[in-house]
Structure formats: structure tokens, C-alpha cells
Structure 1
Amino acid sequence: MATLIDSAAVSNVGRVRANNQDSGFAGHGLFLVADGMGGHAGGDVASAIATKRIAEADQPYITPEDAEFAMQSALIAANQQLAETVFEHAELTGMGTTVSALYVLGDKVAIAHIGDSRIYLLRGGTLTQITTDHTFVQRLVDSGRITEEEAAVHPRRSVLMRVLGDVESSPEIDTSIVRTIAGDRWLICSDGLSGVVSFDDIRDALEQSASASEAAERLVKESLDGGAPDNVTVVVVDIGADDVAASAKPVVIVGSAAEPLAFDIEEPPRRALRMPPFRLHSVPEAHFEPDSEEYLDELIEEDKRRVRRRRITWITVIVLLVAAAAVLVGVTYQWTQSRYFVGSDGDSVAIFRGIQQDIGPISLHSVYRDTDIPIDSLTFYDRQAVEATISATDLDDAIAIAKRLEVTGAD
């Protein structure tokens, strides 16, 4: 029989962001990470509201199914509370949050998930991603349109298809129940970790750390060492045998949920809300688009158009470069053919057109006129000069050099 023995939660604003829009919660049985979105429109408010509402589900349950249902209900309730908050505070329009949560009950773990925060399981040295990202690129991977490697660098890798917020009244929540055994180490993290630290480095940090807190601190540090362009939040949960004494851990809240809220949400207004099926306005830094097949097809087609435009641009650039190179080669060759020099052509002196150099197998000169002056008739000095070639300023100068050699050789 397995049981919860240790946990830790750590959050950091990162090296670029001005505020922390992540929230983390480590309770008695419930653990979660929420990654707010909406930029200055209230990403920190969204993750804090959702975390505090879902944290109310940290109660004793008889079965894992009860815990699973309670978490799903809590996420839906948090979504409603976010919508009601936006109704009261229009300046927060567009805010939303991802949520990845798990509840440990004996040897079972109930999971609830929406967005692109992730849940991992380390078991026996093998790390497995338990949740699936609700992102545009993940849909492309699942449909076989792109590979995992291409998804990691795709320009739309931050576009979310499902979140909690003022978008849908009943968002689709992924839930499941997974068996856990003694020695398992669970990780919940925002994309501030998974988007910076590699899969292998995450596994090594979890495997090599003695305690949950040490693992959490190390993972956050590795994200910071990697530049941490986003907030990073990590919750680590350790599972042991039921005969191992669990350490008495107080409830830990980190990130924006640990700070006082700027808005009163204790008693949200109870009124009918008129919510569109998807957002009709744009929100800077939100990185959210509705999870509809029509919109997904539109994004895919736009992505294809972007690829075609990029391909056409590269082909045009290559063609222009080749054309420019051809013009340059042509001009250079024409210039070489305006030059002359005197040299040896077998046993006689000849006037050559071009320059003395060759480019690989390509000769840049040819015999213009054979003077019929025998090489042997030249003085020792002139013979050496002819064999080394004598440069001329033009054709008349080359003819004059040949006549001088003829006269000198006759003497």
C-alpha cells in the first residue's frame, strides 16, 4: 500500500517577467499548479482566483472517484468565478489560467487538467508525461501533421486551445485516476519549466534529489540558469510505503495566490452571464484561441500559407543570389578577356588573351597568336621571362614585346 510522505512547492517570477502570474498549492492531499494568462489584463488574478477556489477541494474523500469528481467540479466553479469577476471588472477581460491538479488517496492519484501546465511521474528512473497539452501544436502532433521536434520550435507553440477564464461556461476538463506505488515522485509544473529545461534534465533533477523540496528548488534553479523567460512554478509530491511515517507538512501556497488580491472576490455577484461561445476580441500576450475544429482548420491553413510564403521567399532569394553570381562571373570573365600576356606555347613564343591564373579545371586564358619565334632562339634571360609569362597592358603592348623578343633572339 502506498501513501503520501512528502511534498514541496516553489515559484519564481523568472528573469524576464515583471510579475508572477503562476500559482502553486501543496495541501494535505491536493496539489496543483495554475499558470495565468492575459498579461497585464490579469493573469496573476486569474491563477490566484482559480487556485484559491480549487484549494477548497482539499478535503478527505472516501474513494478516488469522489476526489476526481470534486476536482472537476472545483475547476468548473473556478471558471464560473473567473467569468463573474470579469463581469464586475471589465479591465480583466481576457484573463484566464491553466490548471493541472492531482489528489493522492492511498495508492491512487486522481488528476484534473486543462491547458499546458504538466504533470509528470518518475517511477524506477523512467519519467513519463501524464497529461496532454491543450495547445495548437499538440493538436498538430496528434494529427500527424508535425513531429515532436518540430513542435518544440513551432511559432505557435504557445497558443492554447483550452483554459479556464471568461471564454466558455463549461470548459472540457481532462480527468483520470492513476495507480501509484511506493517510490513514485510526481511533478506538477508550469511551462516556465517544461519550456526551458529539457526532458532528460527534468528526469535527472527528480531522480538525483533526496527530498521533494530539494528537487523543486533544483528544477527552479535549472530554469533560471536557462534564462527563465517566463514564470516558473514547481510542485513535487513523493509517495512512500504505508509503513513510512509521513512528514507533517503545512499547506503551502506560492506565486500570485500567496499575495493579497487587488479585487474583492469573496462574494462574487450571482447573476446571469451572457458569454459568447468564443472570444471576439484580441488580448495581447494571452496566447489563447478557442478549441473549435473550424478555428483549428483555419490555423492549420494559415500555418501552411506561412510555410509557402517562407518557401517562396527563400526560393526568390536563392534565384536572385544565383543571378547576381552569374552576372558577377560574366563581368569578371569579360574583364579577363581584355587582358594579354606573352608566354610559351610549346617550343615557340605566343601572345595569350586572358590572365595567367586558372580556376580549377577552367582556364582563364587562350592563345591569341603564335609568333613562330622559337624558344631556343631567345637569350637565357628572355627564355626565363617568357616561360614565367610577361604581362602586357594591352594587345599592342603584347605585340611590341613579341617583336622585341624576335629582334633580340635574331641578334
Structure 2
Amino acid sequence: MALAAARSHVGRVRSDNQDSGYAGAHLFVVADGMGGHAGGDVASALTIRRLRDADHEHASPEEALDDLKGMIQSAGEKLQSTMREHPELVGMGTTVSGIVRVGDRMAIAHIGDSRIYRYRVGALTQITTDHTFVQKLVEAGRITREEAETHPRRNVVMRVLGNIETHPEVDGLIEDALPGDRWLVCSDGLSGVVGESRLAQLLGQRRDAGATADRLVQEALSHGAPDNVTVVIVDVDESPDSSVEPQTVGSAASEIDYDAAEPEATPMSLTQLLLHPVQARQQPAYEHFEPESEEYLAELLAEHRRWKLRRRITWTVGVALAVIAVVAGALGFYAWTQTHYFVGANDAGYVTIYQGVQSDVGPIVLSSEVQVTDIELSELTEFEQQRIEQTINADSLDAANQIVDRLEVSSP
């Protein structure tokens, strides 16, 4: 049974795959090239090819972490030199999320918005933190995680490898690895469309690593897959399997073409629109990188405040219109009930003409006495008494009076 597997798919909308992934004996990593920038596929491919050199045994997790972070920075330098040699690629960048296993520890390095999850004893935990604008808003308590999923700036990445930053900060941490743990490294093509509860469910089905990776990709495709999807699964056994056949997927698995023009996104087909209307309507723009400058953050925060205000106004107007519609409907219904009459008996036992309808709505009474006759219910024939007790409907007051006039009194 394979303990690790890597899979990558172009998705249902994009026409090229700008993701790259790698699963080896010790190293497991995903790089998501920046969509919308020239050479996103080049950026992810160059990065993965550089990081593959970290797939070897390390003396300690601390050494592995330093090695992985150093190679990520080295890959960033390679991207910078490539952009100088190929000006048409200026602006390319990539996320990187990688793990190096050292015995029962995991050395983790991360930059961007690809993610690393750990599934342990039925619980899924996101290990990395997204370097995005909306994540900053979540951490500041300005929005919820649910609001972040539909925020108009959810695709603004604040930190990536390459692009215009020469030496961006790379997050690093070390986590324990227990037998039975299952680790997932993925691009946002998966995490952006498949919720964590569903990810946990699929990871918990205990298929082998390859079958699980295939199933996760299919799940993203079933949700419309508007972005490339790359998945790396790592199952923790008692010890790493150094005999694992390394797998390279996505752009890094093919020859790098520095001269290829960036293709346009493929329009959604009619089938896509019918089967995945939500994804079709909310299809995100290409990921967009902006540096973490104070000026730009201030601009984004000002835009966010305007967005919140628009949402609040829209919500308030919507609620007001709903209340008006309910009140108008209630008034209209009440007015309609008052065009009806019926003949019944009051509490004193006298035949009475009522305006309205027999039914009440909660505490609201929909009928009222308009005329109490001098006819006692007990004076009527048994048949007429039953009719009056069940009430007799009338279309008008005159019609109600005619019903009263036709009532038969019992013989003395």
C-alpha cells in the first residue's frame, strides 16, 4: 500500500495547469503558480524541481526545516534570475506548501494560500495559515471564515514566492507525526470548493493514498473545479518508506516552455452552468498578488469598509422590503376577510350575523358581531340548530339577513 501519492488536474475551466506537486520518500510539496500572471506554470515547475533536492534523510527536524526554507529561498532566487532572462515572465510567482518527514516529526514550510491539513483520529486541522487579505480580516475579527469564502477580495494573496519580492518571509514550524495520521497538502483548487467537513469525511474513508488523492480530485471536479487542483496525500506509518517511487505532477512533470504565451481561461460550458450554477456565478478571478505594504493594506481596508457598508445597506433594505411585503400582505388578507359574512350563534345563544371569517390567526380575531337577532338557538328546529352551530357563509350582509329570515322555528 502506497504511503504517499500526488495528483494534479487542470480543472474544468482553466486551459492550462499552473500547479505542480511532488510526493517522494521524505518530501511532500505543492506549488500553485500565480494565475493571471505570465508564467505561473513556469514558476511552480521551477520551484518544485528545486525543492526535490530536499527529498533525503535529515539528522533532525530542525535541520530539515532549515534545509527546506533555504531551498524555497533558493527557488525564489531562481525565479528572479529567470525573469531577468525572460522579461515576458516578469510578475510570475507561486505559492509553496511543503513537508519534510523526519521520523515522528514533520518540518513544514509555507508561503501563499495553498494549505496543509492533518487528519488525526477523525478530526481535521488546518496546519498552515493563508497569506491572504481575507485571512488578515478573519484574524482581526472583521469578518467570519464563512464571509471570507465569498469576499470580493478573497483571491488577493499577500505573500508569494517570486513576483516582485526578492526575499519574502516563509513560515516554518515543526509538528508531531503519529502513526495513523493522514496529511493533506493541496492547492486552493481543492480547499476553495470542498468544505472541511467533506474533506474530513473523504480522508477518513481510509482508502490508500493514491485512491484518496484520486477521490479528492474528483470531488473538486464535481463542484465545478474553476481552478487547477493539486493534491498530495501522506500517510504516516511507523517509519518513512525510502523505497517510495517519487511522483512529480502538474507543470513540473513536463518540459518548461519559457516562450509559451499565457492562455485565456476556458469559458464555462452550458453543462457547467446547469450542473454547477453557484461556481459558475461565483467563479473567482485569477489569483492576484499584492505586497504587504501599509499603503496597500490601508487601501484594501478602506475598500472592505465600503463593501461592509454596501452589504449592510443591502441587507437593511432587503429586510425593510420584506417587512413591508408581509405587512401589506397581512393588511390585504384582513381586508379580504371583512368582505365576508356568516350566520352563527353568540355565547348567549342568540342567532347572530358576523362580519369576517370563522378562522382566527393566533391572537388576531378575524370576525366581529354586526347584528344580534332576537331568535334564540333553542327555538329553531334541530336541523337549523345544527346549521347555525356549524355557521352558514354569506356573500354580503343582505344575504346573511335573508338566511336569518328563512330559518325555521320549531313548533311549540
Q: Same fold (TM over 0.5)?
A: yes
8 Å CA contact 1:125–1:207 kept in 2: the answer is no
2: CA distance between counterparts of 1:224 and 1:89? 36
One-letter amino acid of the counterpart of residue 37, structure 1: M
1: CA distance between counterparts of 2:231 and 2:377? 88
2: CA distance between counterparts of 1:397 and 1:123? 77
8 Å CA contact 2:24–2:245 kept in 1: the answer is yes
Deviation per CA, 1:297-331: give whole Å up to 9, x if none. Answer: 44345444434433332332222222222223223
C-alpha RMSD over aligned residues? 4.3
How many residue pairs were aligned? 383
What residue is the counterpart of 1:364 in the other structure? 366
| Aligned pairs for 1:250-399 within 5 A | 251-263=246-258, 284-345=285-346, 346-399=348-401
Q: Are 2:140 and 1:143 equivalent residues in the alignment?
A: yes
Deviation per CA, 1:214-245: give whole Å up to 9, x if none. Answer: 31441332341353624333345577778x9x
One-letter amino acid of the counterpart of residue 292, structure 2: D
One-letter amino acid of the counterpart of residue 374, structure 2: D
Deviation per CA, 1:133-165: give whole Å up to 9, x if none. Answer: 222333234334455566566665443211123
| Aligned pairs for 1:122-161 within 5 A | 129-146=126-143, 156-161=153-158
Q: Which one of the candidate residues 215, 226, 229 is aligned to 2:209?
A: 215
Report sequence identity in percent: 50
8 Å CA contact 2:4–2:210 kept in 1: the answer is no
C-alpha deviation, 1:65, in angstroms: 6.3
C-alpha deviation, 1:368, in angstroms: 1.7
What residue is the counterpart of 2:39 in the other structure? 42
Q: Could you say if the C-alpha distance between residues 127 and 321 of structure 1 is closer, same or farther in structure 2, counting changes exceeding 3 Å?
A: closer
Q: Are 2:238 and 1:233 equivalent residues in the alignment?
A: no
C-alpha deviation, 1:183, in angstroms: 8.1
What residue is the counterpart of 1:12 in the other structure? 9
What residue is the counterpart of 1:276 in the other structure? none
C-alpha deviation, 1:254, in angstroms: 1.6
What residue is the counterpart of 1:79 in the other structure? 76
Q: Could you say if the C-alpha distance between residues 385 and 159 of structure 1 is closer, same or farther in structure 2, counting changes exceeding 3 Å?
A: same
Deviation per CA, 1:93-151: give whole Å up to 9, x if none. Answer: 54321012344567776543211223456789887654332223332343344555665
1: CA distance between counterparts of 2:406 and 2:26? 106
2: CA distance between counterparts of 1:262 and 1:79? 18
C-alpha deviation, 1:33, in angstroms: 1.7
C-alpha deviation, 1:35, in angstroms: 1.1
Q: Could you say if the C-alpha distance between residues 190 and 374 of structure 1 is closer, same or farther in structure 2, counting changes exceeding 3 Å?
A: closer
Q: Could you say if the C-alpha distance between residues 31 and 369 of structure 1 is closer, same or farther in structure 2, counting changes exceeding 3 Å?
A: closer
Deviation per CA, 1:171-202: give whole Å up to 9, x if none. Answer: 22224566778887765332344443637855
Any stretches of 5+ residues in structure 1 without a counterpart? 266-282
Q: Could you say if the C-alpha distance between residues 6 and 398 of structure 1 is closer, same or farther in structure 2, counting changes exceeding 3 Å?
A: closer
Q: Could you say if the C-alpha distance between residues 364 and 201 of structure 1 is closer, same or farther in structure 2, counting changes exceeding 3 Å?
A: closer
| Aligned pairs for 1:76-225 within 5 A | 76-86=73-83, 92=89, 94-103=91-100, 110-120=107-117, 129-146=126-143, 156-176=153-173, 187-195=184-192, 196=194, 198=196, 201=199, 205=203, 208=206, 214-225=208-219
C-alpha deviation, 1:253, in angstroms: 2.1
What residue is the counterpart of 1:275 in the other structure? none
Q: Could you say if the C-alpha distance between residues 405 and 62 of structure 1 is closer, same or farther in structure 2, counting changes exceeding 3 Å?
A: closer
One-letter amino acid of the counterpart of residue 253, structure 1: T
2: CA distance between counterparts of 1:371 and 1:69? 99
2: CA distance between counterparts of 1:127 and 1:402? 75
Q: Could you say if the C-alpha distance between residues 349 and 231 of structure 1 is closer, same or farther in structure 2, counting changes exceeding 3 Å?
A: same
Any stretches of 5+ residues in structure 2 without a counterpart? 261-283
Comparing 13-22 and 41-50, the one that deviates more = 13-22
One-letter amino acid of the counterpart of residue 335, structure 1: W
TM, length-normalised to structure 2: 0.72
1: CA distance between counterparts of 2:305 and 2:210? 40
2: CA distance between counterparts of 1:116 and 1:6? 25
8 Å CA contact 2:8–2:21 kept in 1: the answer is yes
Q: Could you say if the C-alpha distance between residues 125 and 383 of structure 1 is closer, same or farther in structure 2, counting changes exceeding 3 Å?
A: closer
Give the secondary structure class of the aligned counterpart of 2:243: coil
8 Å CA contact 1:202–1:219 kept in 2: the answer is no
Give the secondary structure class of the aligned counterpart of 2:16: coil
1: CA distance between counterparts of 2:9 and 2:118? 22
Q: Which has the larger radius of gyration?
A: 1
Give the secondary structure class of the aligned counterpart of 1:333: helix
Deviation per CA, 1:18-75: give whole Å up to 9, x if none. Answer: 3322112345755432111224743222211222344456688888766655544443
Give the secondary structure class of the aligned counterpart of 2:113: coil
What residue is the counterpart of 1:23 in the other structure? 20
8 Å CA contact 1:348–1:374 kept in 2: the answer is yes
Deviation per CA, 1:334-378: give whole Å up to 9, x if none. Answer: 333333343333343333333344334433222222332344544
8 Å CA contact 1:118–1:189 kept in 2: the answer is yes
8 Å CA contact 1:216–1:234 kept in 2: the answer is no
